[in-house]
Amino acid sequence: MAPSTVICIGMAGSGKTTFMQRLNSHLHAKQTPPYVINLDPAVLKVPFGSNIDIRDSVKYKKVMEDYNLGPNGAIVTSLNLFSTKIDQVIKLIENKSDKLNNVIIDTPGQIECFIWSASGAIITEAFASTFPTVIAYIVDTPRNSSPTTFMSNMLYACSILYKTKLPMIVVFNKTDVKKADFAKEWMQDFEAFQMAMMEDKELNGEDGSSSGYMSSLINSMSLMLEEFYSQLDVVGVSAYTGQGFDDFLAAVDNKVEEYNEFYKAEREKLIKEKQEKEKKQKNKSLSKLMSDLDLEKGKTKDSEVLSDYEESENEYEGEVERDEDDVERGYTFPEDRFKEVDSGTDADLQARYQEAFEKTAKTSSSKTAEAIAAQIRR
């Protein structure tokens, strides 16, 4: 059975790396150690042991210096370089798949560097096409107590879901600081979210985060996201205390079943459609090539060559007709051209050639002298 893969994604400061450390410890405590991968090239230290670390393959600071890049550009470039070897990573995991239950992956804190980059899509697709893959979207619970901030985070989660087309678990982290009950209620009860919006408006006034236009927009979006919420599993955890990680693992198992039942079939369908489309395009290109070469089903198409004219009604149609009458042709050469050149005629030929040469040279010299004289007169 292929190990399930959990890709941890979240905003900077959401506690993603600490969540990875706690999840790793939790799985080790259950005697099911995971295969750990770190894809953040800019991190100085990680609080967990990595089986594969991007920092061993790509030097982040050297990338910045060599390519004259800023922090985000260097992260994207590092991921691009690493993604060229993703097939080797997949092969390493496949070789140990019989001993693994989980693969957990940490991603850069600059979320857009991974989700919206070509390398992020390549890495995600490589895992999703080989193993059951789940996205864990880590949310900083205390910072999302405002309805406006909460809605912004949910919209980002929605965009990630439709970008990756993979099962998603929304993980409300830091529940030791603030419980996630309010967020779960907002996702399940539209009226509760409306009440929270009104309270926030009264608290902050018209100039607050929920004033006027913003309130109307957020209310509309909350109705739109109702269908999105139905596709999610929501879990509250504390990476600091370890609370809620059993619930998270249960949600992962649930999403793996969902992947095998729905997402895998959908992905196979998309791959099949892509292959059929490529096959049709290939056949179309081949047909066009055959048409350009005047080939059809391996047979040479009738082409217009001179030999074809022999089968036409007019035997010489398209050709210069030759004379039917035996007309004696005149020649500009003297009659003695047919005579053989021997020792008797050779001297005569040489004399004639010499005479013609001298005459030509004299004429050319005369014309040249005249031209020079004319230039002098001018």
Within-domain flag for 99: yes
| pLDDT given for residue 30 in this prediction | 93
Query: Is 369 within the bounds of a domain?
Result: no
- Judged against a pLDDT cut of 80, whether residue 142 lies above it is answered with yes
Asked if residue 322 is part of any domain, the answer here is no
Residue 265 CA to residue 253 CA, distance in Å, equals 18
CB of 9 closer than 8 Å to CB of 138: yes
Residue 53 lies in a domain: yes
Residue 49 belongs to what domain range? 4-189+231-264
114 band by pLDDT with thresholds 50, 70 and 90: very high
pLDDT at 331: 44
Residue 350 belongs to some domain of the structure: no
Half-sphere exposure of 74 (CA within 13 A, CB side): 20
On average, the pLDDT of the chain sits at 81
Average of per-residue pLDDT across 50-64: 94
Q: How far is residue 373 from each of residues 156, 359, 364, 366, 377, measured CA to CA in Å?
A: 93, 21, 14, 11, 6
CA distances from 364 to 77, 163, 357, 360 (A): 76, 86, 11, 6
Classify residue 127: in a domain, yes or no.
yes
Is residue 303 in some structural domain? no
**pLDDT band at residue 221 using 50, 70 and 90 as cut-offs:** confident
Nearest C-alpha neighbor of 13 from the set 143, 134, 113: 143
**Alpha-helix runs per DSSP H in the chain:** 16-29, 54-57, 60-67, 71-83, 86-95, 111-115, 118-128, 147-164, 181-188, 190-204, 212-224, 226-230, 245-258, 264-292, 343-377
Tokens of 161: 């879901």
pLDDT in tens, 276-305: 888 888 888 888 888 877 654 455 444 444
What local confidence, expressed as pLDDT, does residue 138 receive?
96
Residues 252, 92: Cα–Cα separation, whole Å: 23
CATH number of domain containing 104: 3.40.50.300
pLDDT in tens, 305-364: 444 445 545 544 444 444 444 445 444 445 454 455 455 555 666 677 677 767 766 665
Mean pLDDT check: name the lowest of 140-144, 172-176, 193-197. 193-197
Rounded to an integer, the average pLDDT of 86-93 is 94
Least confident of 63-72, 195-204, 249-258, 311-320: 311-320
pLDDT the model gives residue 342: 52
CA distance 35 to 102: 6
pLDDT at 346 (0 to 100):
58
* pLDDT computed for residue 229 by the predictor: 87
Number of folded domains that form the chain: 1
The model's pLDDT over 244-261, given as tens digits with 9 standing for 90+, comes to 999 999 999 999 999 988
